[in-house]
Structure formats: C-alpha cells, structure tokens
Structure 1
Amino acid sequence: MACALPHHPLFHFLLLFLLPFSIVARTNGTVAVGTSITANNKDTPWLSPSGVFAFGFKPLQEKNLFLLSIWYYKIPDQTIFWYGHDGVPVSIGSKLGLTVDRGLVLSDPQGKELWNSQLILNNNVAHGFMNDTGNFVPVRNDSVNLWESFKNPTDTMLPTQIMESNGDGNLVLNTRDIPSNFAYDAYYNGSTSDYFNSSNFGYRVIFDDKGVMYILRKNNKIFYIKPQGMLFPTIEYFHRATLDFDGVFTQYYHPKTFNSSTKWTHIWSQLDNICVDIGGGEGSEACGFNSICRLNDNQRPDCKCPPGYSLFDSNNTYGSCKPNFTQSCLEDDINFAEDIYDFETLINTDWPTFDYEHFSPAIEAQCKMSCINDCFCAVAILGEGSYWKKKLPLSNGREDNVVNRHAFLKFRKRDPRTLPSPLVPETKKNPGTLILVGSVLLGSSMFINFVLIGAICQGFFLIHHKKSIKSCHGNHSAVETNLRCFAYEQLEGRLNTLVENNMEALNDWKRLERFLMVAIWCIQEDPSLRPTMRKVT
C-alpha cells in the first residue's frame, strides 16, 4: 500500500460552519495524566506553550455538536488541521481524558468509549504535551513519545511532520468510496518506486521546518513534490499542506502577523487542473455522477448539472445529478425516438470514461442519429473524427478549452402519448368516414416490396393522366393530396386496379391494404405526421 493522506468528507463539510472559540490564558503545553475536558462552550482546550495551537473540542454550527480536533488557535479563522474519531462529530457532554494505560480516550456523555489513541501495550503515560509544532504526544517517563498526532495524519501536514511509507514507496492521491472506504485508482502518483532497485524506493514524505515538501528515497536522494522558491520563510509565515475536499493537494501560507482580513494563500497545488488531470477511472472523480467539472477564476473546481438534470441533494453542489426525465427502451420510445428525444450541444465538454461504442470516421449527423435511435445512449461525444456513445451514469465530466470535444446530451422533449396520430382520417363526399389504421405491420418478401413501390408509382402515373380527378381537400392540388385521394378510391374495393388483377397479391388482400396505407402514410402533407424509416420497416 502506498503513502496517502487519509481523507474524510464529513470533516470538510463541517469546516464551512466553524464557530469562534473564546480566548483563554496560555499554558506550558503540559497535560497531566487524569486531566479531561468536556465538549461544551466552557472548558479550555489544551494549548501549546506559545498558545498558537489548541487541542480539544471545536464547536460546530450544528447545535450541541463538537469535533475532537487540533487547530490554529491564534489566527482569526482557527483552521483545523487534525481530527480524531474519523472526523465524526460528538454531542455536547462528551469527554476526552488522558489515561495512564490507554493514552487519549474519547467517550460519549454516558461514558461509552468512542475512540482512543491505541498505545503500545505495557507502556505507561507520564504526561501529555501539546507542542508548538502542532503535534500532540503522550510521553513516557523516559521522554519517549508513546503516540503522536503527527504520525496519525488526517488531511493536513505541517512543517516538521514526517509520513512513513507502508507500501511501494509512491505518494499517491486517489478517490475513495465512502461506505466501503475502497480506494479507486490513483489520479496522482509520485513515481518514486523502482522494482529493479529497492534503494530508489521512497520511504518518507517530509514537510521540513523550512516549509519544503519532498519524498526521501532509501538512498537519501530527494524527490521534490513541487519545486518552489523560499518566498515565504516559516519564521514569518505559518504553512500547511492540505488534501482539500475537491481532491487537490495544496500548500498554503499565512502570515504570523495578521489582521482580521488575513487569509490562507495558495503556494502550489497538485494537480493544477483537477477537472482535466484527475484522469478518469472508477468512481465519480472531482464531481458527482452525471455532473460537469470546470475551474473557476480561483482555479478551484465548480460542479454543475448539465441541462435537463438536477442535484440529488440540493445542499451538496459537488454531488451527483439526476435526469429530470425518463429514458427507456419501451416500444414507444424506440418507435418514436426521433419525435420524443432531442439533443443539447455542450461545447468543449466530455465524459471520457465508460464508452460502450466507438465509431470512426464519423460526422455530427451520423453521431446524433446513431444515439437518438439507441435507447441505451445518454450522450454522444464527437471529436477528432470519431464519436463515442455513453450510458448513464456519466462520470468524470469536464468542461475546458483543452477538451476539444462536443457532447450531444440526449433529453426527452415529449411523451409518446402526446404525439399526433400518424394517419389522419380523410372525409369523402359520400357518407361515412374512412379511418386509416396507424399501426402497420410489414412483411419482407420481394413481392410485397414490389407492390408497395408499384402502388405509389402507378398512383402518380394515373394522377398525371387523370387531371379531372377532383381533390378531396377542397382547392388543394398537390400531387401528394391527389395521390391520397386516388388511393382512398382504390381502398373502396378496387385494389385490383393497382395490381392489375395480380392473383398472388389479391390473395393476400389484408397485407396489400396495409402496404397501401403505409404508402399513404409516408406522403402525408404535414411532414411531422410521416413515419420514420424505423417505424416503416
């Protein structure tokens, strides 16, 4: 297993709602065994000697909830950089104590143990110490540290902190499935392993006292995670490197002399463009499923739902999106696909993973036609002379000038039940109305196809020579109208006129009628009433 910074998304959500904590007197950083603090708004946290850092319960905006954490105590926003109990908040009245045999122990208001620092067995704690580096340690009588918050990192590293490798020596960043904590493929890899020479393996990630972060190999060679100049010396600035909620690993600085408007400022990031560089493997990546990621003016990712989609959780803008319509493979959706569905064109947009069909060469019209008549297709991507079809859910969506592909997003514009009847009844002068059936079943024999074509062709021929036939639509004189009028006449029992008394055709009277109806249906005056070729066949 490679080095990686642990990450708990709940923590990042809670960071947005931190409340200020009251200023208390400085201490020498020492915490006696048997000392405890309670989750409320009264108990003083354990402070480092200079009062820069605090360890205790940070109140959250949610009423009566607290986070066991270590934070910058002096700066205005009191930034948290470590948390216990996997970042899960605790209720008011919970207690943290320092014990001889267990080290740190967190319990709920009823005294049930929730978390402990898991000391090595048979080691007794003499006292605890909150360092001015931000590291809390339970200490043995001989000054040996029995446990360290620095050696149990959460989402942040501070100067002087070291993270040991427990795998192949690569520093990696990856997304995880929250319920199972399963790690998906890495989207960043420090590439400091060497299976042919183990001395080239990276074995420590070091954030040194000068604010420089690097991987130390076993042969003592250094691999800088991000080359940088010393523009913000640690004697004047606080530094932290944090795996932010959006998956970007970023180093920040903050002046030690500050006012109320002073904030953390970005030095470098890994990766530079999380929307594009995250790579695209399993999972939803930077944004949720069916969402689109794009960088904002601050070079941070914004997530948005595509047209026709909305958030599953309106309070989580980085979450997944759901379609506001139903796409199905029911018969009507297949038969009337071109009437029911249309496309929204998204420029420089792609969902690069999980294609299920790929065609090349291709043009836009071909791309759209193939997708709209495929009941599985949710979006078609066109670029570089090729197109790809994708099914829901869509993952790793991105919008950026470097994408250079167009997405044709399929959406439902109408329900098949609202479509007009494919064949419109025609009224003749004589009493009664001829109602043409809209559902036509076609055979596939050579003879039947010949009859269909012959019926239309002969109809045009007869119309050309019988201009005296009156239109059945008032004063309209279009060829199509006259053809329908003529064909209706034949349906009144004179189909033999169309087939010249061909007995094979006349013996299959019902099928002949169906084909004639199809011919009429195909030449409706209103093009929207004509069937698609899929429906015809």
Structure 2
Amino acid sequence: MAPIFSLFLVLITEFSLATAQQRNSNISLGSSLSPASSNSFWSSGSGQFAFGFYPNGDGFSIGIWYATIAPKTVIWTAKRDDPPFHRDSKLLLGNDGRLILQQGEDPEKTIAGGSQIGSSASMLDTGNFVLYNSRSEIIWQSFDAPTDTLLPGQKLRQFEEPNELFSSVSKDDHSTGKFRILMQEDGYLAQYPADSPNLVEYGYWDSGIKIAGNNVTLNLDDNGQLYLLNNSDNMKNLYDGGNVSDKLMYRMTLDADGIFKVYSYGLNRSDDDWKVEWSPNSVHKCDPKGVCGQNQYCILMNQEALDNVVWFNDPYSILSNTSRPDCEDECLKDYDCEVVLHKDDQCMKQRLPLKFGRQQNDPVITLVKVGGREFKKEKQSKVLIASVVVLIVAFTVLAISGVLIYKYRVKGYKKLLNSGNEELIEDVILRSFTYGELEQATNGFAEELGKGATGTVFKGLISNGKRVVAVKRLETVVAEGEREFRNEMKVIGRTHHKNLVKLLGYCNDRTNRLLVYEFISNGSLADVLFKSETKPRWEERVRIAVNVARGILYLHEECETQIIHRDIKPQNILLDERHCAKIADFGLSKLMNLNQTRTNTGVRGTRGYVAPEWHMNLPVTVKADVFSFGILFLEIICCRRSLDPDLAEAEVILVDWVFDCFDSHELDKLVQDEKVDKSKLERMVRLGIWCIQDDPSLRPSMKKVVLMLEGTVDIPTPPSPSSFLSSI
C-alpha cells in the first residue's frame, strides 16, 4: 500500500501545482500592472515567462521575456517604436477585454485586442500572451504579432500575418532595426533591408531551398529544429536541431546585425548564457545590405585591401564605350551627376547616397564629384563597430573608392527569378496585358469592386489564379497616342512607396485601356469613416492621416517625376490588412514636370475637395493637393463628410463648422463623446485650417505638413479660411 499511497500523494501534488499554475496565469478583467508598483508583470504558470513592464532607458517598455534567465532576454515588444513609457503608466485589462495603456492625461492606447470582446488573458508557458473570449477561445495572441523572435510552436506564415520578423536596433534597444526576414509567397525564406521592397536586387540571403504549395510556414520545434512546411506536410529542414536528451530551450532571433540565429539555453551549463546553435553559414557580417549606412562600406578585419567594393547599382544613365577620362568629363558636365562608376568602358552616372557597400572582387572605379569640377577617390576613415569582427570604412561625400559588379543586379538571387516566380517578376517589371487576358482574369468583368470618375474597378486573378488584383477599366481617358500612354504608365510604375497603391501592369488595346493594381483588402477610407458602425479611434485616425501625407509628399518631392494627384479624397485612400493607408489613382489626371507651374486643362477633382485656384484660372501647383488633403484631414478628425445637408444648418459645411468651433474654443464638439487630448486636438485642427487657406502661398508644403503631424514643427494660429467652399 505504501507505494500506491506515495504515488497518490505525488499525483495530488502535481494536480495541485497544475491548478495553481492555471489559476496564477489566468488574468481577469480589471487586472492591471504598473512599473511604479511591485505588480509590474504577469508570470506564466511555471514562472518561465513574464509579460509586463521592463526598464528601457529612462522609462519602460511593455514586452515578454524569459523570467528565469539573467540577464533579461526580451522576445516580444509591444508598440516597439513608441518612446519609453512613463513610470506612472498603467496597463489595464479593460471591461471590453482590450489591453489598454494609460499614461496620465494622454489618450488611452490599445496594446492588444479590440476586434472581439474579451473576458480574460493569460501568459502561457510557451511564451505566448493570449486574450480569450467568454468561450475560452483565443481572440488575440502575441504569437500572431512577432517582433524579432520566433519561439517553438510559433509559425512564420507565407500568405498571412505573421510573415516577417524585423530585427531590433540593438540588444538593448528593441525598436525596429535595419533588417527583416520574410516567408515569401514563392516558397523561399529571404532577407532584405527593413525599408526596401521585396525585389531581388535588395535581398542579401535566401534559404537556397523552396517548398512548393500553399500555406508554407517557417517552424521551430522544441528540439531546435528549424524547417519549412507546406499544407501537404512536406518538410524541408534548414537546421536539424539538437539532441533530444539535452532538454534545452530554443529561440530563433533576427539579430541587430541582420543575421538570424537559432539559440539554445540550458540551466546546467557552466557559462549560463545563450549559445548560438545555428546560423546560415552563407551569410557573413558584411553581407546584410545597409549594415554600414549610406556612403559607407563594410569589410572584415582580416581583409586589409580597401578596393573591390560593390554598391547597390542604380544608375540614371549608362554610357557605353567610354574611357575613364571621358567618363569623368561626362559627369562633370552633368548637373545631376554626383557619383560616376567606371567599369569595362561603361560609364554609370549615379546620385548620392550610395547604398549597401560591400567588398567583392571585380575592379570598378568609383569617383565622387566635389567642388563642382573635381573628382577624388581613395580617402578613407576606419571605424570599428559593435566590438565584433566588422571594420567599417566610412566615406564622406568627399571620398569614396571601391569596386562595383555591374551585373550583380541582374545575377543576384537567380533562384528567386526562376520560371515559377511570376508574382515576383510582376513586382519588378510593369507588365503589358492584352484585353483578352484581363477579360479572362476578371471572369468577364464579373465582380465589380467600385466605380469612380476615372472608371470601374473589378476583382481579378493573375499568375495562374494565385494573385488577387484590382483591374480598373478607364472610361474617360484623354485621347493620346500609344507611346504617350505607355510613357505615362512607366512613370506611374516607377513609383514605389508603402503609402501608394502599386501599379502592376496595364492594357492598351485600341480603345480598351485598363490598369492592373495590387489588391487592397480593407476597402476605402470613405467606407471606414462614413459607413462603418465602428469608427476608428483617434490614434488610428491620426496614423492614417500621417500615411496619406507621406504618400503625397513622395508624389510631390521624392519620386522621379513630380505628380500632382488632383483628386485627393477618402474614396481614393485604401486601407490594407494592417489598416495602412495607400493612395490610389495618382498619375491618372496629369503628370507634371518639375518646371511646370500650371495646367491648361479644365477643373479636375471632386466637388468639396478641389482647391479654389481651379475655379479662378490661377496656376495649379502641388498646393492644390495640400488643400484637398486639408479637407480630407478635417473629415478624418471629425469622422464626417465635408458637405452633409442632413446636419444642422451651422454644421452642414465642415470647414465653416470647424473654424467656428476653433474660434469659440469648443473643439470638443468635433469629436463628440470621444476622449481626445485637447492640446493634440487643437494642433490637428490648426494644421487642417492652414491647409485649406484660400491663398495657396499660405498653405504649408506637404513636407511641412508631415513634420507638423509628427510633432517636430510648431503650428501657429491660422487665419480664417476663405468662405469660397461655401459658394461652390
């Protein structure tokens, strides 16, 4: 009986411990954390993981870390790019199940949840923080919003979030760093600089193996095995994992240097620290593009030569059969030429900054124009970074030398451009479709997504049915030649910005002219502001406004050919799956060269959004878009249309009502019952009023608008806007 009784006691003890762990890890509504108190985090059942506040500089961040390991190893960070939170901050699991951050009089900030009503939360022993509904179903989890780390049981997905990790700035600074790793739609795992598109010339590593099928995922198991898996359970290993008997903890992290590694940890180790189990042996310290910044290149310490440097090749002009002296002369005569690269009698003119400098073996001469009429080279300064084996030779504008492999751009990552990668090619090259192809892609233009002034949009499938696109059939195109139309398409196709809808291709088949765009899943801003029962919160509305402003700034000042949109309105702002705003229909109205100051065409745009100069036969400049943005911005602030005849007479015209509320210090009327910081609301209203000034010269540039939105530029008290809008 004694052994049975002992076994019974063991079972009872284990059951009690399991019950206690479950109870301790369950977080009920109304629970809160504060860095100023002893209750600053919630532990998992075993105590292995913790969720809550951790020190960050002079303040605190919210994240998840290994609670049983010192020093602290953070594996997930909430709002990672926000400044550190105050000591008096409070993290609350609210009555609606949202995890809310409260900081004094600042507006509440949602950390997690919101899509469904929650009833409890838990920090799991897997390292996953979850929110549950009343049926104990997970409605949000940190595993679906990774930062730089993948844990056992967590997946990096191919077609849906999460599909990429972003490195941190450093080991102690967990804000978004320079690099990312992506589970691509073509079945490869690949790495890129954080702010670059998924194009082969930007990539610096891929898995070397791909796995066919849909729903491919990157997985890490409890034994440290790292592998790709498709929906047919076909698996390809990247790393076989460790010994099962070692009983180690594993994590995969994309480090700040741009190289991802599988780490292990065991409490019985003498060094008591994380050990690198595996990392790609094909990636070296200098391979991640952008590790050294602009106009800099990276070499390893055991390499003493300072030549043979390859740069990201992006010439705006290439001259063949040109000697080096002639190449120098050509650049000196060209106002736009700042750097010239000479190789094999090819003269490649470029603009600064140079990017992604790395040492390789194929001589090219790099010359930088200084003082207007002089070139210099081979003057370097050396910098040791991060006490690792990287020696950075930093160049100023006065001194750059090196080597460039011209054909690198087209040779890199051949595996990613094989015959089975149509979707990737579509992102690189603007494709010309026939009318028959698009008729088939849209199933005879069966599913209409929307209709506007320029045409009707239909849903379609290309790439053998694998990629969803939006096909716009233009209905009011100005008569022009085929060459001119193709040139305009190329200009639009060369625009690349995260806040612009990407043009993938076009059809110019006699009278049929159609455009093929990337498909944006969450509809238009107009639907969200004016039709949805649940309006976006203040912080999200401001973020959307910043997205739009940055997109317009790119069109005005940063793309190759300046573009005035001429029809900025909520219907032309689309929201992707992350509710990131993207501007549509840019470039369709009129493309403008840098030296043009007006157009000779009639009024273009939508009533209520067009600038007064359209009606007064005045020069139309980029300031017309600023006016339209101002109207849109006030609509975003107030969640209502600019003209609404169903409202009280004093509120029908949004511009007049906003200024009346501003003038009478009654801005709270604009946001009704929503709790918004008064000083922030006043700043935004001031900005909106400046944008809609009758005199274009009084309106700020979009660059200044962005700075004002970001809070880096003061916004003075604006004068009264014109009543011009009331008369149209």
Aligned residues of 2:193 and 2:288 also touching (Cα < 8 A): no
Query: What residue is the counterpart of 1:166 in the other structure?
Result: 159
State how 1:372-411 maps to structure 2 within 5 Å. 372=332, 374-384=334-344, 386-398=346-358, 400-402=359-361, 404-411=363-370
State how 1:192-211 maps to structure 2 within 5 Å. 200-211=213-224
State how 1:23-42 maps to structure 2 within 5 Å. 28-40=24-36, 42=38
> In structure 2, what is the Cα distance between the partners aligned to 1:141 and 1:85?
27
The 1:240–1:295 alpha-carbon spacing in structure 2 relative to 1, beyond 3 Å, is farther
Aligned residues of 1:169 and 1:202 also touching (Cα < 8 A): no
Query: What residue is the counterpart of 1:292 in the other structure?
Result: 297
What is the CA distance between 1:373 and its match in structure 2? 5.3
Aligned residues of 2:118 and 2:131 also touching (Cα < 8 A): no
* 1:52 maps to 2:84: no
1:205-260 deviation digits (Å, cap 9, x = unpaired): 22222222222222221233x3x243465954332222233433333333333567
Query: What residue is the counterpart of 1:109 in the other structure?
Result: 104
The 1:190–1:260 alpha-carbon spacing in structure 2 relative to 1, beyond 3 Å, is closer
* 1:267 maps to 2:278: yes
Question: 3-state DSSP class of the match of 2:353?
Answer: coil
1:491-510 deviation digits (Å, cap 9, x = unpaired): xxxxxxxxxxxxxxxxxxxx
Aligned letter for 1:105? Answer: I
Aligned residues of 1:347 and 1:406 also touching (Cα < 8 A): no
Gaps of 5+ in 2: 1-20, 161-184, 375-728
Query: What residue is the counterpart of 1:429 in the other structure?
Result: none
Aligned residues of 1:346 and 1:406 also touching (Cα < 8 A): no
Query: What residue is the counterpart of 2:228 in the other structure?
Result: 215
Query: What residue is the counterpart of 1:91 in the other structure?
Result: 86
Aligned residues of 2:222 and 2:250 also touching (Cα < 8 A): no
* 1:74 maps to 2:68: yes
> How many residue pairs get matched?
323
> In structure 1, what is the Cα distance between the partners aligned to 2:343 and 2:268?
52
1:134-169 deviation digits (Å, cap 9, x = unpaired): 111223455432321112212211111123333546
What is the CA distance between 1:70 and its match in structure 2? 0.3
Query: What residue is the counterpart of 1:350 in the other structure?
Result: 310
Question: 3-state DSSP class of the match of 1:392?
Answer: coil
State how 1:123-202 maps to structure 2 within 5 Å. 123-125=117-119, 127-140=120-133, 142-166=135-159, 168=185, 170=187, 171-177=189-195, 183=197, 185=199, 187=203, 188=205, 200-202=213-215
Q: Which stretch of structure 1 is more off in the superposition, 357-366 or 128-137?
A: 357-366
Aligned residues of 2:49 and 2:65 also touching (Cα < 8 A): yes
Query: What residue is the counterpart of 2:538 in the other structure?
Result: none
1:391-440 deviation digits (Å, cap 9, x = unpaired): 22222222x1345434234444999xxxxxxxxxxxxxxxxxxxxxxxxx
What is the CA distance between 1:93 and its match in structure 2? 1.3
The 1:389–1:346 alpha-carbon spacing in structure 2 relative to 1, beyond 3 Å, is farther
The 1:359–1:270 alpha-carbon spacing in structure 2 relative to 1, beyond 3 Å, is farther
The 1:267–1:231 alpha-carbon spacing in structure 2 relative to 1, beyond 3 Å, is same
Query: What residue is the counterpart of 1:497 in the other structure?
Result: none
What is the CA distance between 1:55 and its match in structure 2? 0.7
Gaps of 5+ in 1: 1-25, 279-284, 300-344, 416-537
State how 1:215-294 maps to structure 2 within 5 Å. 215-224=228-237, 226=238, 228-231=239-242, 235-258=246-269, 262-265=273-276, 267-269=278-280, 272-273=283-284, 275-276=286-287, 278=289, 285-294=290-299
What is the CA distance between 1:67 and its match in structure 2? 0.6
Question: 3-state DSSP class of the match of 2:63?
Answer: strand
State how 1:307-326 maps to structure 2 within 5 Å. none
What is the CA distance between 1:69 and its match in structure 2? 0.4
Question: 3-state DSSP class of the match of 1:90?
Answer: coil
Aligned letter for 1:249? Answer: F
TM (norm. structure 2) is 0.39
Aligned residues of 2:224 and 2:242 also touching (Cα < 8 A): no
Aligned letter for 2:157? Answer: E
> In structure 1, what is the Cα distance between the partners aligned to 2:333 and 2:222?
62
Aligned letter for 1:201? Answer: N
Aligned letter for 1:216? Answer: L
Identity of aligned residues (%): 27
> In structure 1, what is the Cα distance between the partners aligned to 2:154 and 2:255?
18
What is the CA distance between 1:367 and its match in structure 2? 4.4
Q: Provide the alpha-carbon RMSD of the alignment.
A: 3.7
Aligned letter for 1:152? Answer: A
Q: Which stretch of structure 1 is more off in the superposition, 184-193 or 349-358?
A: 184-193
What is the CA distance between 1:358 and its match in structure 2? 3.0
Question: 3-state DSSP class of the match of 1:150?
Answer: helix
1:478-532 deviation digits (Å, cap 9, x = unpaired): xxxxxxxxxxxxxxxxxxxxxxxxxxxxxxxxxxxxxxxxxxxxxxxxxxxxxxx
Aligned letter for 2:225? Answer: V
Aligned letter for 1:407? Answer: T
> In structure 2, what is the Cα distance between the partners aligned to 1:358 and 1:119?
53
Aligned residues of 1:169 and 1:203 also touching (Cα < 8 A): no
Query: What residue is the counterpart of 2:411 in the other structure?
Result: none
Question: 3-state DSSP class of the match of 1:159?
Answer: coil
Aligned letter for 1:408? Answer: L
TM (norm. structure 1) is 0.52
Asked which structure has the greater RCO (Cα within 8 Å, sep 6+), the reply is: 1
> In structure 2, what is the Cα distance between the partners aligned to 1:288 and 1:268?
23
Question: 3-state DSSP class of the match of 1:147?
Answer: strand
The 1:383–1:135 alpha-carbon spacing in structure 2 relative to 1, beyond 3 Å, is same
The 1:348–1:214 alpha-carbon spacing in structure 2 relative to 1, beyond 3 Å, is same
